Structure formats: C-alpha cells, structure tokens
Chain A
Amino acid sequence: EAGVAQSPRYKIIEKRQSVAFWCNPISGHATLYWYQQILGQGPKLLIQFQNNGVVDDSQLPKDRFSAERLKGVDSTLKIQPAKLEDSAVYLCASSARLAGGYEETQYFGPGTRLLVL
C-alpha cells in the first residue's frame, strides 16, 4: 500500500514570496491533516479536512495561509506572503474513517522542509 506522498521535499524562498505544498493521502483515507513542525518541537495542527470539508482550521494563520482539498483526495497548502518564522517542516497526514467512527491512527508523509530567507 502506497504511503502519503508530499512534494516538493525541500523549498527555499525569500520572505514575502509565496509557496505551495502538495499532498496525496493514502488511497481511501477520508481525513487529511496539515501540520507545521518547528525544529525541536512536536507537530502543530494547522488544518484538518474530512473528505473535502474543513473540520478544524482554528490554528491556521488565515491572513497568509490557505489550504484546499478539491474532490476529497489531494490537498494543497499555500503560504502568501511567507515570513521568516514560517521556516519549518510541513507534514501531511491521513487517516481512514471506519463505519460509525474514526480510525484514529494518522499516517504521515515525509514532509516538506521550508526555509524562508
């Protein structure tokens, strides 16, 4: 079974530029998560999708970050304009939804390492 795919793996941009990250979850997984992980810290949830609807985006800096999940499969996370403090690893994860509830285990992609100069 193929895992969660993310691209690009690395990105270096200047502050105030824009950047986009792509995620393809495990086939059939209804729930998709975007996390931000700063070096030495645990992941921080940015946004959670259930199919193509947003479940929680309370920690997403909406003045500069946006995310979409068209057709309930792939997802894109965008930052515009980027700030120095956005330098981090952006992780995508997915989980299945079983009849009557959630499959709680989240499976992660390799992440995209962003450096903002």
Chain B
Amino acid sequence: EDQVTQSPEALRLQEGESSSLNCSYTVSGLRGLFWYRQDPGKGPEFLFTLYSAGEEKEKERLKATLTKKESFLHITAPKPEDSATYLCAALMDSNYQLIWGAGTKLIIKP
C-alpha cells in the first residue's frame, strides 16, 4: 500500500535550536516529493519539490533533502515565526496524485 509517514508528530524547540523533520515514503512509483507549510486556519503553502535521490533545496532557514526511502526537512536556527505544521506528500507517477503524511507540528519557543 502506498503511504507516507512523518515523524515526530510534534516537536518543540527553543529559538535557535536546529533539528530535522522526517518523511518516509513507500510508494510504487515516485514522481516527486513535496513539502508544504500549514499555519493554523490556513491552507497548505508550497515550500519545495524534490525529484531525485541526493537532491537538496534551500529556502531561508529550511533545507529539504531526499533519499530513496525518505526526505528530511532541516531547520537551522529556527525563529518563533517558523512555528507551523509541516506536511510532506509523495506525487505518484501513475496518476499525478499526492499521498499525504499527517504532518509534524513544530513549535519554536522564544
């Protein structure tokens, strides 16, 4: 069965404390791996797409990486405004649909 699993479910960090979020996937054919950020009361906001193992993308304090089994979202020296739920999703090459993880709720304390 195609599935995407994110860990941890929640992560509390102090401002400036770097860490990583994990997204492991088991899909029959991966076209791409997406990361989104979702703030309370809002829709998901696109962050990154990764297409091949070894690929990395960066945006401000965030860096996403991809292997053949998982993706990591590294957050360096986070600030309180980075607090949000981070969702990953695998794009199936068979039907161009996204298989979503349940998200990691990130809380950055000042």
Contacts and interface: CB of A to CB of B under 8 A. Distances in A.
A108 B44 contact: yes
Interface in A39-85: 40-45, 48, 56
Contacts of A45: 97-98
What's the dominant secondary structure at chain B's contact region?
strand
Contacts of B42: 110-111
Interface size class of B (residues with CB under 8 A): 20 to 34
Contacts of B100: 42-44
Nearest to A48: B97
Given A48-B97, A56-B95, A102-B96, A108 B43 contact: yes
A50 B13 CA distance: 42
B49 A104 contact: yes
Given A42-B89, A111-B43, A106 B96 contact: no
Interface residues of A, number: 21
Contacts of B36: 108
29 contacts: A4-B43, A40-B103, A41-B102, A42-B4, A42-B87, A42-B89, A42-B100, A42-B101, A43-B44, A43-B98, A45-B98, A48-B97, A56-B97, A91-B43, A91-B44, A93-B43, A102-B96, A104-B49, A105-B34, A107-B46, A108-B43, A108-B44, A110-B41, A110-B42, A110-B43, A111-B41, A111-B42, A111-B43, A113-B41
Given A108-B43, A111-B43, 6 more contacts: A41-B103, A43-B98, A104-B32, A106-B98, A107-B46, A110-B41
